[in-house]
């Protein structure tokens, strides 16, 4: 495992901490592999009853590391590091809790659609800027967001890619609770402890039933999204957005049709 992802087992909870503060926890392929490995570890360990994802008091994640993702996603999306992480997360049988402070960009927001409880600090900011980067939605968000919050609201968040606050995320039903930043992880930890004290087979059965109605459609959507996302990474529009990011300017899409 990379030291950019810290793994700790504590009181029947596996804590997965994003630990790349100098890059705002931007996610590399190696970090995705470590996070997927951590979920597999939790699934295999009968003593672990809950998984907690967290970052720092200042940042959850700024999204994907462009240095890795400008190279594209060759092959079957499900076999790529990010694809494997998403599918492992979707198919996790044990409850997943998330504590978020600061930015939760791109997959930092879409991964929440597959988690069971999410606590966010008042300093949290959510964003899915895929179209603004010349890309497309991922993580099943094109299916789940319209179901959760309605098509027009989902279209606004996915097409315009604007940031929204913890209070708005709570109103939309994407998170469970808004906390003071210094309390976010403690509140998430309390939820983990309560989940760990519940009957484990009953919790797994409840989670399976909650996910069952959309499982097949979700996996198909994620495969389609992943393939298109890989194509978009190689597109001229994405190249322009990545150049603009490096040059610290807004991308100019005016020449594209």
Residues 6+ apart with CB under 8 A from 186: none
Q: Counting Cβ atoms within 10 Å, is residue 154 exposed (0-12), middle (13-18) or buried (19+)?
A: buried
Hey, which residues does 54 pair with through a beta bridge? 17, 99
- What is the pTM for the complete model shown? 0.96
Residues 6+ apart with CB under 8 A from 184: 57, 99, 100, 101, 119, 120, 121, 124
Look at residue 99 and give its three-state secondary structure: strand
If 0-12 CB within 10 Å is exposed, 13-18 middle and 19+ buried, where does residue 101 land? buried
- Compute the CA torsion angle 153, 154, 159, 162 (nearest 10 deg): 70
Q: What is the pLDDT along the chain (257 residues), one digit of tens a residue?
A: 579 999 999 999 999 999 999 999 999 999 999 999 999 999 999 999 999 999 999 999 999 998 888 877 878 899 999 999 999 999 999 999 999 999 999 999 999 999 999 999 999 999 999 999 999 999 999 999 999 999 999 999 999 999 999 999 999 999 999 999 999 999 999 999 999 999 999 999 999 999 999 999 999 999 999 999 999 999 999 999 999 999 999 999 999 99
Listed in sequence order, the DSSP H helices in the chain are 29-44, 66-69, 81-90, 107-110, 141-149, 151-155, 166-172, 184-197, 200-211, 215-233, 236-246
Instruction: List phi, psi (to 5°) of 113.
Output: -65, -15
Map residue 133 onto helix, strand or coil: helix
Query: How would you classify the pairing of strands 125-127 and 164-165?
Result: antiparallel
Q: What is the pLDDT of residue 171?
A: 98
């Amino acid at each position: 495992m990379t030291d950019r992802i810290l793994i700790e087992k504590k009181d029947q909870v596996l804590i997965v901490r994003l630990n790349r503060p100098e890059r705002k926890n931007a996610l590399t392929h190696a970090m995705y592999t470590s996070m997927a490995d951590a979920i597999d570890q939790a699934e295999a360990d009968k003593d672990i009853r809950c998984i907690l994802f967290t970052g720092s008091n200042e940042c959850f994640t700024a999204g994907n590391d462009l240095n890795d993702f400008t190279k594209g996603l060759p092959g079957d999306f499900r076999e790529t590091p990010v694809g494997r992480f998403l599918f492992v997360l979707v198919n996790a049988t044990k409850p997943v809790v998330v504590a978020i402070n600061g930015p939760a960009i791109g997959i930092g927001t879409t991964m929440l659609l597959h988690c069971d409880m999410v606590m966010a600090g008042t300093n949290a900011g959510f964003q899915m800027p895929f179209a603004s980067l010349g890309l497309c939605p991922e993580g099943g968000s094109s299916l789940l967001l319209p179901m959760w919050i309605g098509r027009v609201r989902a279209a606004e968040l996915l097409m315009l890619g604007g940031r929204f606050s913890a209070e708005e995320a709570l109103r939309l039903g994407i998170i469970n609770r808004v906390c003071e930043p210094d309390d976010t992880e403690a509140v998430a930890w309390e939820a983990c402890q309560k989940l760990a004290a519940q009957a484990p087979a009953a919790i797994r059965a409840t989670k399976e039933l909650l996910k069952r109605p959309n499982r097949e459609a979700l996996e198909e959507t994620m495969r389609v999204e992943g393939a298109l996302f890989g194509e978009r990474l190689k597109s001229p529009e994405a190249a322009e957005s990545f150049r603009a990011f490096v040059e610290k300017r807004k991308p100019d899409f005016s020449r594209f049709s």
